[in-house]
């Protein structure tokens, strides 16, 4: 994984300390991002689900969209 989920959570919490909103997104290669396997992308989304104000998931990432949506409802 390029960034550990712990690193991402730490950075998200730092942004929250400044009372700024967070849009969590992990762009796929097709969307202009870096290749990150779906399993790792999902781990990042799950790690920030309780911190982010909005989670931006590509329509092409159906598996992640369904799992992240279910987890955000907890």
| 65: containing domain | 5-72
Q: Which of 61, 53, 51, 50 is nearest to 26 (CA)?
A: 61
User: What is the rounded average pLDDT for all residues in the chain?
Assistant: 80
* Cβ–Cβ < 8 Å for 37, 44: no
What values do phi and psi take at 39, rounded to 5?
-60, -40
Strand extents, DSSP E, 1-74: 23-25, 54-56
Confidence of residue 13 (pLDDT cuts 50, 70, 90): very high
Look at the chain and report how many structural domains it folds into: 1
pTM recorded for the entire structure: 0.64
CB-facing half-sphere around the CA of 61: CA atoms within 13 A: 24
If one compares 64 and 61, the residue with the highest pLDDT of the two is: 61
What span, in angstroms and rounded, lies between the C-alpha atoms of 1 and 54? Answer: 22
């Amino acid at each position: 994984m390029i960034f550990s989920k712990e690193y991402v959570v730490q950075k998200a919490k730092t942004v929250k300390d400044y009372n700024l909103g967070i849009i969590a997104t992990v762009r796929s290669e097709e969307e202009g991002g870096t290749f990150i396997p779906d399993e790792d992308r999902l781990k990042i989304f799950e790690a920030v689900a309780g911190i982010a104000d909005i989670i931006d998931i590509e329509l092409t990432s159906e598996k992640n969209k369904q799992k992240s949506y279910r987890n955000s409802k907890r």
